[in-house]
Structure 1
Amino acid sequence: MSQVTVTIAGKTYRMACADGEEQHLEGLAASFDARIEEMRAAAGEIGDMRLHVMAAITLADELSEAKKRIASLEREMDEMKRFYSAGDHRIQVAEARFAESIQRVTERIERLARSLNAPVQE
């Protein structure tokens, strides 16, 4: 387990994280700190706790919208997979019919060739 020190709204916090996740945690903390600073600039001094809650709710809202978008894209991808699967089936059916037609034409040509090569009866 690793330890990192992050600063959010001017306060320092020591946090534990999995080995190798240090930069990720520091980046998340920096992003949260930036969000708080944006809100502080827009709303003025309204208290740290309120700013933290507002920033957290804003991020939760963005996460919720991202989850909805991901779910929508997954449904769209599933629809496309079904469409292309149906298309693959239609292609396979068409190829089978085409192969049958070629087989019938081949048989007909062979019959014609045999009849042309047959001895003439007088």
Structure 2
Amino acid sequence: MAQVTLSVNGRPYVVGCEDGQEAHLTELAKLFDTQVRQVSQDVGQLAETRLFLMAALLLADELSDLRGRVSGLEADHARLQAEAGSAEGRASAALEAAARRIERLAGA
């Protein structure tokens, strides 16, 4: 197990992680640190626990919004796939009907 030192709000935190995950964890900590610093600027200095809680709640809210958007996009995608399948079926039927008419005309 690897260890990485993360900096949040100017303070170091040593965290264990799976080998190879150090860079990913560092990027996540940078994201959290940015949110913590923004909360601190917006509401002033808070106790560290409250500051971290506010930042975590804002990130959770953003995550919730994004999950909702993804769900909506997945529903749109499924609807468009169904419409495409229906259009393909209609196009296929039209081509078959046209081929039958051509065969009849050629036979006449």
How does the TM-score come out when normalised to structure 1? 0.84
Q: How does 1:48-63 map to 2 (within 5 A)?
A: 48-63=48-63
Cα deviation, residue 20, structure 1: 2.4
Q: Name the structure 2 match of 1:6.
A: 6
Could you say what secondary structure the match of 2:7 adopts? strand
Q: How does 1:1-122 map to 2 (within 5 A)?
A: 1-108=1-108
- What percentage of residue pairs aligned between the two structures are identical? 33
Could you say what secondary structure the match of 2:40 adopts? helix
Cα deviation, residue 2, structure 1: 2.3
Counterpart Cα distance in 1 of 2:103 and 2:19:
65
Could you say what secondary structure the match of 1:64 adopts? helix
Which has more radius of gyration?
A: 1
Unmatched 5+ stretches in structure 1: 109-122
Matching residue's letter, 2:99: A
Could you say what secondary structure the match of 2:83 adopts? helix
Counterpart Cα distance in 1 of 2:5 and 2:88:
55
Counterpart Cα distance in 2 of 1:105 and 1:46:
85
Could you say what secondary structure the match of 1:50 adopts? helix
Deviation readout 1:74-121 (Å, 9 max, x if unpaired) = 00000000000000000000010011011101111xxxxxxxxxxxxx
Could you say what secondary structure the match of 2:19 adopts? coil
